[in-house]
Chain A
């Protein structure tokens, strides 16, 4: 039996006055699914994030988180089910220390101090931020502030995690750290929706790709097939990431889009011994 969706949009539409940002968008995300939301600048990705977090309500159609219609809930109540990091995550931080900031969410949900402390510590640990816990968020470089905001979302231990550009300015090690933390969270049954222009990160970390084009849903399919298809991506403002381009160029069997898989396939074809 299929799990009932953690997130479901039915013909959802939204306009900012005269600007139509989303039209008739429908899809569902099951618990444990890892979904990339892609598309060119202005395609409507952040607007969709605002609908899922209840900051905006659809003009048309519905947005449901589990069995909750977002129109019936205030964003702070939806936070019981939805954790989010917005595009300019800096602006999401306001406490005096990183730990305080990460504790804010669970505390606002009414958990006791011990539970709040456990959740904050776990989230900081998952993102290797423990060493920065006592720092003021604004003393961190922008990249680490994004991570602090992500820790705040993880500490909610939400059923749906929605992230808008979580890897901006991160180096390879930090991107891997984020990927690891997200995988752990999803392994506990959460649904993950990540808006990103970093298609390499998407390929490594996520499985399914939804592409928006001027507010309309253009594709919804496995990322591995989508990212290897340069001619379909092009009109959407997207370009295959390096591993996909390499696989296609060398005609690697199975067209892997993840670094490890590509390295193993390359080694097999070339008769080399991959590094452990």
Chain B
């Protein structure tokens, strides 16, 4: 049974006419990573809120269709600094906040917190006050707090937005590791160049609907490039007037060039 299934989902925010999501169906298997791509406002963030049971529960609005979650989910918002609990005076306590709310025994909490701090490379910040961290440090703390709860469904909205480029690479590797551990992962990202190495499947959202779904090669197709949603390498190839199919990554380009 898939940990996350959406069927024919339509969602309206309060007081807006046009639906934010229309007829969206998506099933995510354990161990699978689905990347959501689209222009700003296409619905990727809303889809994650719906999957996390925050919309309409917290946002208000109207949902029709079916959302099935077979397991606990964790979400990292595109504004991670708004996710700080405000109740913790150290990074360690901040990361422990979620697990503690799950009522786990202390040793279990400690084990998960230590591991999450390690994975996000912030063990050195453990004693710091979360209110005084840099932007990327906060994003790492929030990611660690979600992972420490060991959710089976991991929902990530622009998880690398404030990470330095090396940290972003490390996070994408970690996402693959999490999938290897059997988590179902949905990630919305504008870092299209990262998608080929990370995602099993790509869903292209347009005006609230799934316009196309497929392997990451989707990001080298004519229509995707035309919409500004191709990878940079595909875009450069296309702009050079070279023939399709366009290479998706630098590695593909090297092969094509030979």
A residues sitting closer than 8 Å to B (CB atoms) are: 16, 19, 39-43, 46, 87-88, 90, 141-144, 164-165, 168-174, 197, 199-200, 234, 237-239, 241-243, 245-246, 249-250, 259-260, 262-264, 266-267, 270, 272-275
Contact = CB atoms under 8 A, between A and B. Distances in A.
A275 B165 contact: no
A242 B232 contact: yes
Contact of B162 (A168, A170, A263): A168
A259 B232 contact: yes
A41 B140 contact: yes
Nearest to A164: B135
Contacts of A168: 78, 158, 161-162
A41 B40 contact: no
> Interface extent on B, as a size class?
35 or more
20 contacts: A40-B164, A41-B162, A41-B164, A87-B162, A165-B162, A169-B158, A169-B190, A171-B40, A171-B229, A172-B229, A173-B228, A197-B136, A238-B164, A239-B166, A246-B233, A246-B236, A249-B254, A262-B236, A267-B242, A272-B241
Nearest to B42: A171
A234 B170 CA distance: 13
Contact of A259 (B161, B165, B235): B235
Contact of B137 (A41, A165, A242, A250): A41
Contact of B240 (A90, A200, A245, A272): A272
Interface in B211-245: 228-229, 231-233, 235-242
Contacts of A164: 135
Given A168-B162, A238-B164, A46 B238 contact: no
A197 B257 contact: no
B73 interface: no
B254 A88 contact: no
- Identify whether the interface residues of B are mostly helix, strand, loop, or mixed: helix
Interface in B81-101: 81
A9 to B, nearest CB: 19
A238 B135 contact: no
B134 A170 contact: no
A16 to B, nearest CB: 7
Contacts of B167: 40-41, 237
A42 B165 contact: no
Nearest to B79: A142
A242 B231 CA distance: 9
Contacts of A143: 40
A164 B232 CA distance: 23
A143 B228 CA distance: 17
A88 B239 CA distance: 34
- The 9 nearest A-B residue pairs measured at CB: A41-B136, A263-B239, A242-B232, A172-B228, A266-B240, A40-B164, A239-B165, A267-B240, A237-B166
Contacts of B239: 259-260, 263, 274-275
Contacts of A87: 135, 162
Nearest to B160: A197
Given A88-B81, A243-B236, A234 B166 contact: yes
A171 B161 contact: no
B236 A270 contact: no
A90 B79 contact: yes
B105 to A, nearest CB: 33
A270 B257 CA distance: 9
Contacts of B177: none
